[in-house]
Amino acid sequence: MKNNIHVFTVLFAFIMIFAKVNAQYLYDSVSFETFTSKILIDSTSNNVWQIGIPGKNFFNSAHSGTRAILTDTINNYFTNDTSVFIYVIRNPYTETCFTSMEFWHKYDMDTLFDKGIIDASYDGGNSWVTVSDSNLVSALGSNFWWDYDYCEANGSYKVHELIISGKSNGWILSRFNWQWWITVKSDSIIVPPDSLMIRFTFISDSVETNKEGWMIDDLLTVSAQWQLCSGIEGRLLGEKILIYPNPFSIQATLKTEYSMNNSILTIYNSFGKKVKQIENISGKMVTFSRNGLSKGFYYLFLTENNKVLAIKKLIIINKSK
């Protein structure tokens, strides 16, 4: 029996919203209950990642079902270790301009040098880039960004750490997104054009601390189908869409080099509920007000003619006295 998840993520809401209209969002999940070829564990080295039933003190059960992937199901992690597993995201997730991935995890690590790192490869593993919140822009005009952590133990949210270390307060839900990192349909960047690879790396130093490591469960990937992106491919790759200030307390301004024509700005809260919409936007700038919205994380979708122009993270704060 799956655990009840106390947070309805914004991406599930987006799936339902768009699915009712044109079924242009797709999702895939891995719960580790049965064998899947999507998970690759290097068996030629002393890799501590295992899929199985957790049997430790802190890692005492999976998030759902009975099985998870973790750094050894019974023993604490070794010193001087570097262990890797890869999640291969199959077609059609390479045919999109926006993808988001979330997962539940527990971690128990020494805070000196022991850590977990997440990398992504869009060329079949020939090169890797660390997932970070720096809006790293490549030659393809793409970027990653983290959303936030959701702590199941106390129901709170916080900004995601870029490198996992220390000890979590129970199960944590984390999510990151990338825009235009995965190429759209008919593009030849990915060879072979059928997979994107997400690499989870656990690293420990030479000091023995008797910690349990890293445990991950219930991976979910959500992608927009290429139909949402193909009509704006050239536009997105050549332009900047800025929101300032962000965070904001009273009002913010969206500015773009593209001249909008009958565009729609929609804001969703962290539970996927639509809380604001501005229609019939023209020109290169639009200012919107807070209008009583609570402080927290939000998502802004800018669309035009049923095409997604931009997806931006918003943060609303209370004005300091």
What is the enclosing helix (H) or strand (E) of 28?
Answer: strand 25-30
Mean pLDDT (whole number) for 135-147: 53
pLDDT tens per residue across span 271-304: 667 899 999 999 999 999 999 998 887 878 888 8
Examine the pLDDT at 102 and tell me if it is beyond 70.
yes
Whether pTM > 0.85 for this model: the answer is: no
Examine the pLDDT at 90 and tell me if it is beyond 90.
no
Mean pLDDT (whole number) for 96-111: 85
Buried b or exposed e, range 93-121, using 16+ CB within 10 angstroms: bbbbbbbbbbbbbbbbbbeeebbbbbbbb
Examine the pLDDT at 152 and tell me if it is beyond 70.
yes
Mean pLDDT lowest among 18-22, 71-75, 148-152, 220-224: 18-22
Bridge partner list, 70: 50, 215
Residue 95: predicted pLDDT: 58
Examine the pLDDT at 1 and tell me if it is beyond 50.
no
In 3D space, the residue among 118, 150, 179, 168 whose CA is nearest the CA of residue 297 turns out to be 150
CATH architecture assigned to 10-227: Sandwich (2.60)
CATH of domain 239-316: 2.60.40.3080
Indicate the burial class of 129 (C-beta count within 10 angstroms; 0-12, 13-18, 19 or more): middle
Residue 272: predicted pLDDT: 63
pLDDT tens per residue across span 184-226: 434 444 444 456 788 999 999 999 999 999 999 999 887 766 5
Which position has the higher pLDDT, 15 or 88?
A: 88
Examine the pLDDT at 98 and tell me if it is beyond 50.
yes
Examine the pLDDT at 45 and tell me if it is beyond 50.
yes
**What residue segments make up the domains of the chain, in order of their start?**
10-227, 239-316
Please determine whether the domains at 10-227 and 239-316 fall in the same fold group of CATH.
Answer: no
Which position has the higher pLDDT, 166 or 179?
A: 166
Q: What are phi and psi of 14, to 5 degrees?
A: -60, -40
Which position has the higher pLDDT, 40 or 321?
A: 40
Which position has the higher pLDDT, 36 or 241?
A: 36
| In contact, 32 and 62? CB cutoff 8 Å | yes
Mean pLDDT (whole number) for 74-103: 81
